[in-house]
Chain A
């Protein structure tokens, strides 16, 4: 369980997060959605202890962010890096192997190699393991970063806009894999998404943010309504119900 209490955050003097109180239950897939600049990524990076907390508290399981050592938290919580920031020529297997670092601290053993093989298999990358990152497609690259986070073997997994620049096939693939991690492995997956329809299709819970506050939260069918789209996103789109879940007609 991720518990956030009384969280405030300012960037360059401007408030980005205001009085956030939020509990993300253990297990399942939670999507953070909201318009640009709502503070989703800031919130995610605070949970991932990548920025210092200015005011408030965040705990991930029994660990209090800001107090727990980086290396201990790395065995509990994985953050999928932004693949666009990585220009290094790394082989896919090497990249996935980095996910094992918190466990072996530089000396990978047989168990680590087995985990890497499992991660490659699960994300259908076994045939590409010796390819360099700049030699595979955008979707394969993104899958490799997700496989790396999976290889980290943590209870919690955070992803910041993993579907950026992916085509529909790659995006659905990745979300299905994330769904699998929640359903089959019992992981708690928190993902920042831009496309509400992906969020309603794959998430158990939505957390909607607007101007640094939580605007709504709950199951997709309860949260996504015409009113929400108008009030939070400032657009008048109709929400239809298709196969039991809300679908925004864009």
Chain B
């Protein structure tokens, strides 16, 4: 399954290089103009889609594991909105701040946002599994409203769209590299995959096995925050990837992260890359934001998943 997925990803990546406003054929790669188009725009865009998709899917799975609930994902549950709030405040207060300061502000805000969410959902009864996504959605909505208010007061409404609606049309060489940090953070979660899986037994059982629950949780929340923030800073929020993909891979591979994470990363990359190619093609020469396409695909996929889940239960 992993091998077939990788082959499909390679095929889509090739396709992604050749689909766009400026027509490009394989022969053009030999010319300087075609080559620079590929290196400066098409390849960065392809990489951005793959890295963001893989990262978002992984963080979704980790968040679901930490919340012990399958219906949450960081992008809509406050981390995404908090990251936007972080950049927004940073841009308002220190307009001249270099990008890495904004990035750090977004990551810290996302971290704070995730920690508050964890504290909010902790006392919720496990017998009511729908309370967690409800609280998370309301919480994300409240932070989103704060973001909109601050942006309105600061006359920054026109920037808001770039953070809240993820799209890849602006991706160029030199403007997406932060996503490699997201990739590093996602890859780091592979190292603690076994420990994270132990948390599915519950905190007590994990401690009884000698796991340092606090440390592992902290590491996981940090990875989630960094990935979310980097995606919001470079592309804007892309919802649903973190929700749909982990649900799909849990059905296929189960919740043992060592087994599931590679599949999750691959499926997330496939989803976002395919959605981006579709976004470029559907009304060429114009584009649809990839967040919109993903949300459309994701909503349908999620409805199907819930229906299948209900049929099984």
Contacts and interface: CB of A to CB of B under 8 A. Distances in A.
B201 A98 contact: yes
B207 A50 contact: yes
Interface string A82-105: 100111111100100011011000
Contacts of B204: 45, 48, 50, 79, 81
Nearest to B251: A89
B205 A89 contact: no
Nearest to B256: A94
B256 A91 contact: yes
A58 to B, nearest CB: 15
Interface string B193-211: 0110110111011011111
A74 interface: yes
Nearest to B201: A81
B68 interface: yes
B160 interface: no
Interface string A141-166: 00000000000100000000000000
A137 B65 CA distance: 24
B248 interface: no
A78 interface: yes
Nearest to A86: B201
A99 B256 contact: no
Contact of B254 (A78, A91, A98): A91
Contacts of A10: none
A73 interface: yes
Contacts of A94: 197, 254, 256, 259
Nearest to A160: B204
Contacts of B255: 88-90
Given A85-B126, A89-B255, A94-B256, A102 B195 contact: no
Interface string A10-46: 0000000000000000000000000000000000010
B210 to A, nearest CB: 3
B21 interface: no
Contact of B208 (A74, A85, A88, A89): A74
B207 A89 contact: no
Main secondary structure of the interface of B (DSSP, over half): helix
B212 A70 contact: yes
A162 B63 CA distance: 30
A71 interface: yes
A86 B202 CA distance: 7
B137 interface: no
A152 B201 CA distance: 15
A233 interface: no
A106 interface: yes
B250 interface: yes
B294 to A, nearest CB: 25
Contacts of B205: 79, 81-82, 85-86
Contacts of B254: 88-91, 94, 132
Given A89-B254, A90-B256, A102 B209 contact: yes
Contacts of A48: 204, 208
Contact of A101 (B65, B200, B209): B209
A61 to B, nearest CB: 16
Contacts of B201: 81, 85-86, 88, 98
Interface in B213-254: 250-251, 254
Contacts of B126: 85
Interface in B254-282: 254-256, 259
Contact of B209 (A45, A69, A74, A89): A74
Contacts of B207: 49-50, 70
Contacts of B251: 89
Given A79-B204, A89-B254, A71 B210 contact: yes
A81 B210 contact: no
A106 to B, nearest CB: 5
A188 to B, nearest CB: 16
Interface centre among B68, B197, B205 (most CB of A within 10 A): B205
A89 B260 CA distance: 11
B216 to A, nearest CB: 11
A180 to B, nearest CB: 22
B208 A79 contact: yes
A196 B17 CA distance: 71
A115 to B, nearest CB: 14
16 contacts: A45-B204, A48-B204, A69-B210, A70-B211, A71-B210, A73-B210, A75-B210, A81-B201, A81-B208, A82-B202, A88-B197, A89-B254, A90-B200, A91-B254, A94-B197, A101-B210
Q: Which 5 A-B pairs have the closest CB atoms?
A: A74-B210, A81-B205, A71-B210, A88-B200, A88-B255
Interface of A: 45, 48-50, 69-75, 77-79, 81-82, 85-91, 94, 98-99, 101-102, 106, 132, 152
Interface of B: 65, 68, 126, 194-195, 197-198, 200-202, 204-205, 207-212, 250-251, 254-256, 259
Given A79-B204, A88-B201, A102-B209, 10 more contacts: A70-B210, A79-B208, A81-B201, A82-B202, A85-B201, A86-B200, A87-B200, A90-B200, A98-B198, A101-B194
